[in-house]
Amino acid sequence: MCVVALLEEPFRVGHFLPQDLKMPLCGPKCSLCGLIVSVWGIIQLSIMGGLFMWNSIGLIEDLGLEEHYDTTEELYKAADDAYSSIAYNCWIAAAIYLVTLVISMQQFHVNKQAGHFQL
């Protein structure tokens, strides 16, 4: 059996367009998985971010508050801070998942053109 060496096209330095990438970074399963998790992440994290922003009581145990506060105002302030910062974290994570979604979609498209999917 012969061994054939696969020479990869070197990336062009300077401008890097997604259409140039003929060789997929990850296979069909990986891109499909990324697609599904990204969609799920975007939906769930945006909703969670909204819930945290509107001070949902059901999520109060996830804030990471202290065991003891001296006054009620301290508790309220800590809770408000926690709510808003976690909400921003959720939305930032959702944004990163949006980027992942775009990459996964592009990879999925490339894999489909390479004929890895038969559906």
Partner 1 sequence: MAGFSYQRLKERGATMSEWGLFRSEEMSLCQLFLQTEAAYACVSELGELGLVQFRDLNPDVNAFQRKFVNEVRRCDEMERKLRYLEKEIKKDGIPMLDTGENPEAPQPREMIDLEATFEKLENELKEVNNNAETLKKNFLELTELKHILQKTQTFFDEEAQYHYVTHQMSEANRDDENAQLLGEDGMQAAGQSLKLGDGTQHVPDGIQQALLTSDEGDQVYKSVFIIFFQGEQLKTRVKKICEGFRATLYPCPETPPERREMKMGVMTRIEDLNTVLAQTQDHRHRVLVAAAKNIRTWFVKVRKIKAIYHTLNWFNLDVTQKCLIAECWVPSADTEAIQLALRRGSERSGSSVSPVLNSIQTREAPPTYNRTNKFTQGFQELVDAYGVASYREMNPAPYTIITFPFLFAVMFGDFGHGALMALMAAWMVWKEKPLGAKKIDNEIASIFFGGRYIILLMGLFSIYTGFIYNDIFSKSVNVLGSSWRNCFTDEEVHHHDAETLLLPPENRTCFYGTPYPFGFDPIWQISSNRVTFQNAFKMKISVLLGVLQMLFGVLLSVFNYRNFKQFSDLVTMFLPQVLFLLCLFGWLCMLCLLKWTMYSAPFEVGSGPEDAEAIRYGTHCAPSLLLIFINMFLLKDMNADAKGTGPGEKYCDGYLFDGQKGFQSFLLFVGVMCIPWMLLAKPILIWRQRRQQPHSELPETNGDVAAPAGGGGGGGHDEEEFSEVCIHQAIHTVEYVLGSVSHTASYLRLWALSLAHSQLSEVLWTMVLVRGLSMTREFWGGIVLYVIFGAWAGLTVSILIVMEGLSAFLHTLRLHWVEFQSKFYKGEGYIFAPFSFEIILREADSED
Binding residues (CB under 8 A) for partner 1: these are: 1, 37, 40-41, 44-45, 57-64, 72, 81-82, 85-86, 88-93, 95-97, 118-119
Q: How does DSSP assign 56-108, residue by residue? A: -GGGGGGS---S--SSHHHHHHHHHHHHHHHHHHHHHHHHHHHHHHHHHHHHH
Least gap, CB of 48 to partner 1 (angstroms)? 8
Minimum CB–partner distance for residue 41 and partner 1 (Å): 6
Nearest to partner 1 of 20, 117 (CB atom): 117
* Least spacing, CB of residue 17 vs partner 1, in Å: 26
Phi and psi at residue 117, to the nearest 5°? -105, 140
